Amino acid sequence: MTDPRWLDATEMAAWRAFLSTSHLLERRIEEQLKASAGLTHPQYEILARLADAPGRQMRMTELARGVVVSKSALTYQINQLEKAGLVERATCPSDDRGVLAVLTEAGARCLDRVAPGHVEVVRAYLIDRLSREELHAMTSAMQRTEEALRGSV
């Protein structure tokens, strides 16, 4: 068995900064979404992804992959959004076994109302604190990490 490659001081500083920042930013986003619309961050992301999808609809399996949750976790969130009238389910026309999540008009209005506050939080605590070069570097680094993680699933 080989010894682990422990993190050096620079690597540990980067890891700890990533952890604390991601947790703190997630908390701020959750607070804003709860206060403005009673939504969780995953629920907001579902609404936003549906709004950007053709016909404002996506297959549940594709949506689960996009928001990075299990199918059962997505089903729970869709149930909550459906109860609130923000999303509805439909049978996939090309595959009777497939289920679509569809953004309702009420869901689109909710997203329109909540999105400005959401982007304000994202800008205030992340985007506007970084230079364009730092944003490009962060994007590149996170995309490489995402590719590695998605490739290992």
Domain boundaries along the sequence of the chain = 18-151
Residue 153, pLDDT score:
53
Residue 68 has what DSSP assignment? T
* Cβ–Cβ under 8 Å, residues 118 and 33: yes
Residue 70, pLDDT score:
82
Return the CATH architecture of domain 18-151.
Orthogonal Bundle (1.10)
Q: Which residues contact 75 (CB under 8 A, 6 or more apart)?
A: 60
Q: Residue 59: exposed, middle, or buried by beta-carbon count in 10 A (0-12, 13-18, 19+)? A: middle
The reported pTM is 0.89
Tens digit of each residue's pLDDT (9 = 90 or more) over 38-77: 999 999 999 999 999 999 999 998 999 888 888 889 999 9
d(CA 62, CA 100): 9
137 phi/psi in degrees, rounded to 5: -65, -45
